Amino acid sequence: MTDVAPPGSLLGARKPYRSRWEYAGWAAAIIIVALLLLSTVTNPNFHWEVVGEYLAAPIILAGVWMTLMLTAVSIVLGVLIGAVLAVMMRSQSAVLARLASAYVWFFRGTPLLVQLIFWFNLAALYPTIGLGAYTVNATHIITPFFAAIIGLTTNEAAYMAEIIRGGFESVHRGQTEAASSLGLRPRHVTFRILLPQAMKVIVPVIGNQAIAMLKNSSLVSVLGVSELLHSAEIIYGTNYQTIPLLIVASIWYLAMSSVLTVVQHAVESAYGRDTRSRSPAKLKAARQSVGDQ
Cα separation, 2 vs 5, whole angstroms? 10
Cα Rg of the chain, angstroms: 26
Question: To the nearest whole number, what is the mean pLDDT of the chain?
Answer: 83
Number of domains in the chain: 1
pLDDT given at position 287: 47
- Domain extent at residue 258: 52-124+136-288
Cα separation, 203 vs 274, whole angstroms? 13
Give tens-digit pLDDT for 160-217: 999 988 887 877 776 666 766 666 666 677 667 777 777 778 888 888 999 999 999 9
* Residue 35 domain-assigned (yes or no): no
Cα separation, 265 vs 23, whole angstroms? 30
Ranking 5-9, 65-69, 120-124 by mean pLDDT, the lowest is 5-9
Secondary structure class of 115 (helix, strand, coil)? helix
pLDDT given at position 160: 94
* Residue 16 domain-assigned (yes or no): no
Angstrom CA distances, 188 to 194, 282, 286, stand at: 9, 12, 9
pTM over 0.75? The answer is: yes
pLDDT at 255 over 90: yes
* Residue 19 domain-assigned (yes or no): no
Nearest to 227 by CA among 236, 237, 215: 215
Contacts of 279 (CB under 8 A, 6+ apart): none
For the chain, the first-to-last Cα distance in angstroms comes to: 61
* Residue 81 domain-assigned (yes or no): yes
Q: Alpha helices, DSSP H only, in 194-241?
A: 195-216, 228-239
pLDDT at 124 over 70: yes
Amino acid identity for residue 7 in this structure: P
Contact 213, 74 (CB under 8 A): yes
CATH number at residue 63: 1.10.3720.10
Share above pLDDT 70 across residues of the chain, in percent, rounded to a whole number = 79
